[in-house]
Structure 1
Amino acid sequence: MSEESKGAPCTGPEHVAEAGRRAQQFALRHARHPKLPAITAAFEAVPTASDGAQITAVLRSLVPVYCA
């Protein structure tokens, strides 16, 4: 079995840094969109979400990012 196929991918500092870069790019592309402040707040809430309900709420508010 190759090193790449030994399990599910995991996140770490590189993943978080890439997500941050992409969030900044998204914000620049959609700077005039009226819902941008809510999306930005959701990104900022990700690290502080501490239970299932909070995580679900944050992820639901980020759905527009994946559809944009």
Structure 2
Amino acid sequence: GIDAGGAFGMDVPFPCHNYLLGNNKYGLTQLRNLDKLPTTGAIVIAAPLKIVGGSGSPTRVFALVSK
């Protein structure tokens, strides 16, 4: 099988993006190695591209951890 989108559009394109961004929130998905971070004390930094009119972006995400 294939994972293809439907042949119909959504009333609001990317409704989750619009809901989160419309409330000054953002979402991070498909992050790896989070199990290697301590349960507390890490500072996570997300640096997305500034895409004018975009509802999402590839993002460089990294964490600062004290030793």
Question: Which TM-score applies when normalising by structure 1?
Answer: 0.28
Higher strand share: 2
Higher helix share: 1
Question: Which TM-score applies when normalising by structure 2?
Answer: 0.29
Larger radius of gyration: 2
